[in-house]
Structure 1
Amino acid sequence: MRVAASLRQKLEQSLAPIRLDIRDESARHAGHGAHAGEESHFALVVVSDAFTGKSRVERHRIVHSLLAEELSVGGVHALALTALTPQEDRAA
């Protein structure tokens, strides 16, 4: 399974997001020492009721724990994460 598909599957199964945007930014890092080729740098926007009442740090911990396998050595090198409640997303 491709990395982006794995990210999507795990986040959808665990967080039932109202919105999930996954952007592969790996091409922007070509030539970077840690760029191992394709699917190494991602930007995520996750909007879920699961984040209600959670701090920004708690939200990031939740996502990072779900994606631990992909974030391990040799997997995803960089992850830009925006984790919002539906109310925060509507207000943005």
Structure 2
Amino acid sequence: MMNPDRVEAMIKSELEDARVEVRDLTGGGDHYEAIVISSAFEGKSLIKQHQLVYGALQQAMASEAIHALALKTYTPQDWESADKAG
């Protein structure tokens, strides 16, 4: 069974500098929300950023260990801006 710590570890295995926050949305271990901050996102479109994260979770999503993922991605600079605005 998947858990938030495992999801976080899978993302960090592909995006080593990433700061990751994962929340189980339903308590059932298959619907998650993730916030990912990484310098690997710099210069990439939102779609490309999400593709990097989905690539890290590909095996879990293909096997339906993760059924749904609400995803927010930020570069470190974007995160600082969002954090100060919020």
TM-score bracket for the superposition, by shorter chain length: 0.7 to 0.9
Tell me the equivalent position of 1:42.
32
Which amino acid counterpart does residue 79 of structure 1 have in structure 2?
L
**Counterpart selection for 2:67 from 74, 77, 82:** 77
After the TM superposition, list the runs of 4 or more consecutive aligned residues in structure 1 that deviate by more than 4 angstroms: none
Residues in 1 aligned to 2:61 and 2:37: alpha-carbon distance in whole angstroms = 20
Cα RMSD of the aligned pairs, angstroms, is 1.5
TM-score (norm 1): 0.79
Matched residue SS, 2:60: helix
Number of residues of Structure 1 aligned to a counterpart in Structure 2: 81
Which residue of 1 is the match for residue 3 of structure 2? 3
Deviates more, 1:66-75 or 1:52-61: 66-75
Which structure would you say has the larger Rg? 1
2:64 and 2:52 mapped to 1: Cα distance? Answer: 21
Task: Give the partner amino acid of 1:90.
Answer: E
Q: Percent identity, aligned pairs only?
A: 31
